[in-house]
Amino acid sequence: MRARIRYNQAVPTRSSPQPSSVATAFSPDSSAHRPPWRFSLPRDVTPAERKSLIAGSLGWMLDAMDVMLYSLVLSYLILELTMNSRTAGFLISLTLIASAIGGFLFGVLADRIGRTRALMASILLYSVATAACGLSRTIPQLALFRFILGLGMGGEWTTAAALIAETWRAEHRGKALGLMQSSYAVGEAIAALVVILVLPHFGWRAVFFVGALPALLVFWIQKSVPEPAIWSQRIPNARGASLSCLFEKDVLRNGLLATSMNACSMFGYWGLFTWIPAYLSLPASQGGRGLSLVKTTTFFLVLCLGKWLGYTFFGVLADAFGRRKPYVTYLLIAAALVPLYGLARSSFWLLCLGPLVAFFGTGYFSGYAAIASELFPGEIRATAMGLSYNIGRGLSAAAPFAVGALAAKFGIGPAFFLQAGAFLAAALLALLLPETRGRQLT
């Protein structure tokens, strides 16, 4: 009979690993071994740790680039394919819904064939789909390619987060996952540079063709990045793993809480950051702030910097003070700042508040990978992480529509109050989760 999952059970040391089972999901380190406050990664990073971080970060960075290209050339797509704003928004939601499906499918795949193989498959999928967007002649064709891209988008986070979480030591896992998450902001900035360099000379189709370049990363991953020892050691028992483990009492409770928390935080994120460019650039008569193209672009790049700092610093804080305290703090501050940002009218305050909103309104994402990887047992870790993270992303697909509906009546800025409420709800749900810092994954 399959054993029930037990949470506070002794685990093998790093120097003498043993095969894992569902019954030995993880255990917390003693307080004597808690990591010191550090702003840098340890000096004794192993080759496997370093390569897993590079692979996951590059994959996530290029994923962000491919996803953002659509938003940055959207005005050209609307003209070329005669789309209205409702259809354009639907394609964004379609990509998010597909990411929820992809996160689950690639999670199952990663638990069956390995983290690195599944990571390579996800990168290939979103790279090919992005290039295919450049071949679109009709809206249904573009919708199909965006859906396929979403599958790879959801799968990349799932597989990369599992790869890094299982390769890195518990005392530095938060920092490593924070650095991986921070690469998303870098990818968004790269997308802006690609559009600036390519679009004026070659058109919007060529912009999407550039999105095929991440596929080259697969060759290096295949050659250089090993599977986590944790996953390799459980291969002989892999057939014994069952998705029914998701319905164990503790796993189900924590999984539902984490998924609800993630859904609320992502509702806040997607509703806010998909509308900020329009909020900055549209004239006041349409609910915006009427900034010029140069100012809007500059403010967007400053937001990217704020996001990167928020992601990175969260990992440091998570390893120093635990996962839950920084997570709740970030969300509460975001809930307080977003209404102020929505009511700001001068360029000065928009520029000052923007990076702070980006710092606290996105940085908490670094904590979710650590929390989720430490909540679920190894046999179903990638599956559960992908399901939890991407269900939240799928539910958040309603956020851009909700903000748009409120903006039509009250203006974009006041509509952001809804996102502040979502951040507050996520913070309250986070308080109900157990602290997981220091848990050794087995």
pLDDT tens, position by position, 65-81: 888 888 778 778 878 88
Structure tokens at 402: 């909700």
Dist. CA 176–CA 167, nearest whole Å: 10
How confident is the model at residue 28, as a pLDDT? 41
- Report the percentage of the chain scoring pLDDT > 90: 17
CB 89 within 8 A of CB 357: no
The position carrying tokens 């440091």 is 316
Print the domain residue range for 194.
Answer: 46-224+245-441
Residue 18 lies in a domain: no
The alpha carbon of residue 249 and the mean position of all alpha carbons in its chain are separated, in whole angstroms, by 27
Q: Greater confidence, 159 or 23? A: 159
Residues facing residue 26 across a β-bridge: 441
Residues 6 or more apart in contact with residue 143 via CB below 8 angstroms: 90, 91, 94
Give the chain's count of helices (H) and strands (E): 19, 2
SS3 letters across 113-142: HCHHHHHHHHHHHHHHHHHHHCCCCCHHHH
CB 427 within 8 A of CB 116: no
Residue 208 lies in a domain: yes
Dist. CA 292–CA 110, nearest whole Å: 46
How confident is the model at residue 392, as a pLDDT? 81
The whole model's pTM is what? 0.71
Q: Is the pLDDT of residue 262 over 80?
A: yes
Dist. CA 269–CA 419, nearest whole Å: 7
Is 390 in a helix, a strand, or coil? helix
Give the dihedral of Cα atoms 150, 55, 229, 376; nearest 10 deg: -40
Other Cβ atoms closer than 10 A to 15: 5
What's the whole-number mean pLDDT along residues 183-201? Answer: 87
Dist. CA 20–CA 8, nearest whole Å: 15
Q: Regarding beta strands 26-28 and 439-441, do their DSSP bridges make them parallel or antiparallel, or are they unpaired? A: antiparallel
User: In this structure, which amino acid lies at residue 345?
Assistant: R
Other Cβ atoms closer than 10 A to 9: 12
Structure tokens at 156: 């990349």
Is 29 in a helix, a strand, or coil? coil
How confident is the model at residue 9, as a pLDDT? 37
Please give the angle made by the CA atoms of 101, 106 and 112, to the nearest 5 degrees. 140
Residue 184 lies in a domain: yes
Q: Is the pLDDT of residue 244 over 80?
A: no
CB 73 within 8 A of CB 124: no
Residue 25 lies in a domain: no
Residue 72 lies in a domain: yes
How confident is the model at residue 8, as a pLDDT? 37
Instruction: Give the DSSP H/E element, type plus range, for residue 26.
Output: strand 26-28
Q: Is the pLDDT of residue 5 over 60?
A: no
Residue 8 lies in a domain: no
How confident is the model at residue 429, as a pLDDT? 92
Number of residues in the chain: 442
Q: Is the pLDDT of residue 277 over 90?
A: no
Residue 152 lies in a domain: yes
Q: Is the pLDDT of residue 397 over 50?
A: yes
Lowest mean pLDDT among 109-113, 181-185, 292-296, 353-357: 292-296
What's the whole-number mean pLDDT along residues 359-386? Answer: 77
Other Cβ atoms closer than 10 A to 143: 16
Residue 288 lies in a domain: yes
CATH of the domain at 83: 1.20.1250.20
Q: Is the pLDDT of residue 7 over 50?
A: no
Dist. CA 285–CA 230, nearest whole Å: 57
Q: Considering its fold, how many domains does the chain have in total? A: 1
- Report the percentage of the chain scoring pLDDT > 70: 83
Instruction: Categorize the per-residue pLDDT at 440 as very low, low, confident or very high, splitting at 50, 70 and 90.
Output: low
CB 110 within 8 A of CB 234: no
Taking the CA atoms of 365, 367, 370 and 376 in sequence, report the sign of the dihedral they define: negative
